[in-house]
Structure 1
Amino acid sequence: MPLEEQRPVPPVPLTESPNSVMTERSESPNQQEEASPTTDRHQRQFIIIPEEHQRKAPSNLNLHPYTRPLTISDLESCVVLENAAFTNPEERATREKFRYRLSRCGELCLGIFCTVVPGSGINAETLATGKPVETSRHNGAISVLLGHVVAAKTNDLIASDESMGVPEDWDSPHPKPSNLGHQEAGRTIVIHSVAILPAFQGRGLGRVLVMAYMQQMNGAGIADRLALIAHDPKVAWYEKLGFSNKGKGKAQFGGGGWYDLVFELKALEPRAAYG
């Protein structure tokens, strides 16, 4: 699959602003407390960004988003996006994890972008890290990351703390074998992060991104399933996309309390040979 291939998706009208900061993988603080009365508020420390301080997308703006695989050149945009989308710092992937995953298995990572002309009114945290669409464009248009899916492979059937880890010597010339992080021969793709910029949430971009990812991985024939972890309020969102809830998981990343979700990929159908 060409790294620079761009897959257009239908325009997404922006007609309203979000009421709270929420990530596609974990719920917003307010949603968590409403959906789970037994939540220990002292155990999870969230930073609630007041609505007046949140970046808003213009109400009359029409996006023309497209998806493409992420590369190491998208590192800074992914870090900025992750920090903006996840209000709980413990649930964010670190810069080192992004550098590892985009270097080792960038073909398993997908971003949703839009083309922006500077000064056109789009106020996104990732605007400063955007890249020129074409150097010959006179209007200086740049490609801006709005959301990402970041993943790796594992030999396990579900997401685990080991699959979310990073080998200490991964970037050395001769790294030692490790059960941490990406396992090239694994048949399970573990989705580590699904995130949409807060100002662009509630517009259907998360659904478009995840469905595009599922479709691409389904047709690639490189794995048997997708696995991820989610908090209770987001479980139903993933179930509507076809994921199966496997119950409370053992992963302790970000303080634990996750549910395991799995999507079984279809086997490649035999293709007729011609000639």
Structure 2
Amino acid sequence: MNKWIKKSAILANSDGYLDRLQSVYPVTLTEEREIPDEIIQEIRRIFEAHDDEKLIKLLLCFEKFPIKDPYVAFLRQKRGVFIRKNPETIRRVAEQLYSLGFNGVVKGIKEPKEFNRQIGTLFKRWLPEMGFPLLSESEFETFKGICLLSGSDKFLKDYAQDKLGYDIEKGIDMVAKAGNTYFFLGEAKFLTDYGGHQTAQFEDALRTASFEKINCVGMAILDGVVWIKGKNKMFERICKSGQIILSALLLKDFLLESNNTGDLGTKESREEYGNDDVLFEKIE
């Protein structure tokens, strides 16, 4: 077992873990999505005219559709074509929209993003709090010491693929450098429950952690229920892994150690960690 897995499990089962985690993933009242007034009035006009096709076609332009319907994702792909070819489906979906009323439709498209969809953004916002510089590409490549690459999700992924040989399709949340020559590609997840979408998120993070080159390695930065011991398949899989998997709260310590030792951190823990071993065995 990689020692950072052991340290993370101990940390997550210690006093104050959730209290400290709020510095990384703060839960705040999220503002509604902004929709221009002229668009709202256009929705009203079409809604009151009961023009089913135009209403659905317009609402499909928004990130959040007002209702949850299994057919909506399909309709989004080729709005004009599929709407025209499936009149009964359009009529059914439209009736659901009319039953909400105009205000209900507007409320639906303005609904704030779910917390789980903000994880990557919150993590990237927290990264500078570790105290390491967040740099542009040219600065990042010449900086001596620990640093983080600044950029959008797409930019980080493109950089990792073009410059570091990253060959996994999934995007990443962090590109870090330590020891001047070692690079770390991290994907962060705060898993709040078991099963379904959360399991898929867990698998995505492990895929990133499976990446390894001579001077570059992937890591899964996981927090939440994944660290609870018991009938938890995620915990069992992590404990059998030699990959770099750790809590965001230990990321700074990991980078500092890697910078000081010149170790990518991928070797399995074969040392005696004294207190850590005892504490790990006592986790309930």
Choose 1 or 2 for highest CA Rg: 2
Select the structure that is richer in strand: 1
Q: TM-score, normalised by structure 1?
A: 0.30
Q: TM-score, normalised by structure 2?
A: 0.29
Normalized per residue, which structure has more helix? 2
